[in-house]
């Protein structure tokens, strides 16, 4: 078994690869076999282990993503979530690689937003607003930059100092970008062409009434029924609403579950999943005035796409 740590995977496998590999997988889904993920509590509160297996019989490769959730880790300078992906060659039965799964999870989550942005945001998008500047934010930025000519980024975070830290990181990585931090989310909402939310907020992080025509919203933060970062009053105003994985969103996305319960927006009102958006050109944005929304919770086959893509590039080196 070869072990590829985060630095190695990062050097070899990039956002453009992840977007391409996920869209490629959408054309070749028949061979995918998976099962419900397993969650085992390992301590108090959310402390747990998650196991998400998924195989591709056509490509004869399979993965299992093993994720630990350790809520008190930040107090000790360690990340809350740590992922590892084991790749098995189904042709030989050999367990061939261990890939760092933390970067790959952030990258694939970014790539999902990137695909949504590519097909739902206005082509003349230049300003990206980011609400939440935590662990998932950098790859969300990378994804939007990959598919749109972003020249300005507006950042909002509950703790302003963290937004400033993130700004420094962005400026260092992309010196040509104009990056600003705002202390009132309304300033961001009114100016951004894309609003990308990556918080774990239990309350909406923006006010639906302040959303401008032509805005595209990516919501990737809420992944539990108690998390509701998107103001779900935006959903009936949106011309297009897509979910990365419809069954996953129904079970996990707090603001969408609430919207469905309250009758604000029923699950069946969704325009489709990310696969449909990627493959069917008629589902994409048609005018500059539409409001569009993409809600993402993740699913094992997205992990499969990036893990196999990364593995195949890593072993060719």
Q: Taking the complex as a whole, how short is the minimal distance between the CB of residue 1 and a copy of itself, in angstroms?
A: 5
What is each CA distance from 179 to 7, 26, 41, 182, in whole angstroms? 26, 34, 40, 10
The pairs formed by 65-74 with CB atoms below 8 angstroms and a separation of 24 or more are 65/101, 65/105, 65/300, 65/303, 65/307, 66/101, 67/101, 67/105, 68/42, 71/45, 71/46, 71/47
Phi, psi (deg, nearest 5) at residue 73 = -60, -45
Near a copy of itself by CB under 8 A: residue from 62, 110, 129, 248: 62
Q: Taking the complex as a whole, how short is the minimal distance between the CB of residue 55 and a copy of itself, in angstroms?
A: 5
155: which 2 tokens? 């950042």
Does the protein bind a copy of itself through residue 40 (CB under 8 A)?
Answer: yes
Q: Taking the complex as a whole, how short is the minimal distance between the CB of residue 36 and a copy of itself, in angstroms?
A: 8
Q: Taking the complex as a whole, how short is the minimal distance between the CB of residue 83 and a copy of itself, in angstroms?
A: 8
Choices 58-66, 106-114, 117-125, 241-249; region in contact with a copy of itself by CB under 8 A: 58-66
- The DSSP result for 58-74, as a single string, is TTTEEEEEEEEE-TTGG
Which residue's CB is nearer to a copy of itself, number 33 or number 266? Answer: 33
Does the protein bind a copy of itself through residue 164 (CB under 8 A)?
Answer: no
Cβ atoms of residues 297 and 253 within 8 Å: yes
Which residue's CB is nearer to a copy of itself, number 97 or number 208? Answer: 97
Strand runs (DSSP E) across the chain, as ranges?
A: 2-4, 32-34, 38-41, 48-56, 61-69, 81-89, 94-100, 127-131, 152-156, 178-181, 194-197, 216-219, 240-243, 272-273, 292-295
Residues 77-116 vs a copy of itself: string with x where CB under 8 A? Answer: -xxxxx-x-x-x-xxxxxx--x------------------
With H, G, I as helix, E, B as strand and everything else as coil, classify residue 200: coil
Binding residues for a copy of itself, rule CB under 8 A, total 43
Near a copy of itself by CB under 8 A: residue from 24, 27, 42, 159: 42
Give residue 155's region: left, alpha or beta (phi > 0; psi -120 to 50). beta
Near a copy of itself by CB under 8 A: residue from 8, 20, 26, 51: 51
Which residue's CB is nearer to a copy of itself, number 70 or number 290? Answer: 70
Q: Taking the complex as a whole, how short is the minimal distance between the CB of residue 22 and a copy of itself, in angstroms?
A: 21
Does the protein bind a copy of itself through residue 27 (CB under 8 A)?
Answer: no
- Residues binding a copy of itself (CB under 8 A): 1, 3, 5, 33-36, 38-43, 47, 49, 51, 53, 55, 57, 60, 62, 64, 66, 68-70, 73, 76, 78-82, 84, 86, 88, 90-95, 98
């Amino acid at each position: 078994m070869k072990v590829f740590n985060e630095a190695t995977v990062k050097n070899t496998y990039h956002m453009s690869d992840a977007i391409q590999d996920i869209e490629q997988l959408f054309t070749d889904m028949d061979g995918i076999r998976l099962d419900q993920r397993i969650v085992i509590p390992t301590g108090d509160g959310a402390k747990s282990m998650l196991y998400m297996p998924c195989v591709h019989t056509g490509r004869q490769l399979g993965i299992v993503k093993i994720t630990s959730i350790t809520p008190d880790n930040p107090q000790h300078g360690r990340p809350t979530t740590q992922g590892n992906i084991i790749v098995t060659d189904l042709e030989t039965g050999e367990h061939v690689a261990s890939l760092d799964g933390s970067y790959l999870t952030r990258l694939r989550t970014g790539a999902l937003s990137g695909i949504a942005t590519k097909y739902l945001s206005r082509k003349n998008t230049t300003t990206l607003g980011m609400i939440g500047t935590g662990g998932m934010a950098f790859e969300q930025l990378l994804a939007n930059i990959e598919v749109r000519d972003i020249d300005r980024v507006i950042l909002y975070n509950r703790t302003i100092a963290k937004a400033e830290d993130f700004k420094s990181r962005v400026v260092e990585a992309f010196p040509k970008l104009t990056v600003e931090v705002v202390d009132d989310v309304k300033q961001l909402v009114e100016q951004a062409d894309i609003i990308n939310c990556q918080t774990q907020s239990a309350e909406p992080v923006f006010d639906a009434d302040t959303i401008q025509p032509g805005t595209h919203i990516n919501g990737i933060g809420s992944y539990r029924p108690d998390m509701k970062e998107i103001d779900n009053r935006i959903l009936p105003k949106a011309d297009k609403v897509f979910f990365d994985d419809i069954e996953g969103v129904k079970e996990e996305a707090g603001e969408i579950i609430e919207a469905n319960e309250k009758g604000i927006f029923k699950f069946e009102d969704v325009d489709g999943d990310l696969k449909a958006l990627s493959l069917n050109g008629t589902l994409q944005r048609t005018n500059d005035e539409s409001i569009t929304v993409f809600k993402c919770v993740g699913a094992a086959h997205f992990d499969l796409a990036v893990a196999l893509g990364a593995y195949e590039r890593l072993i060719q080196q």
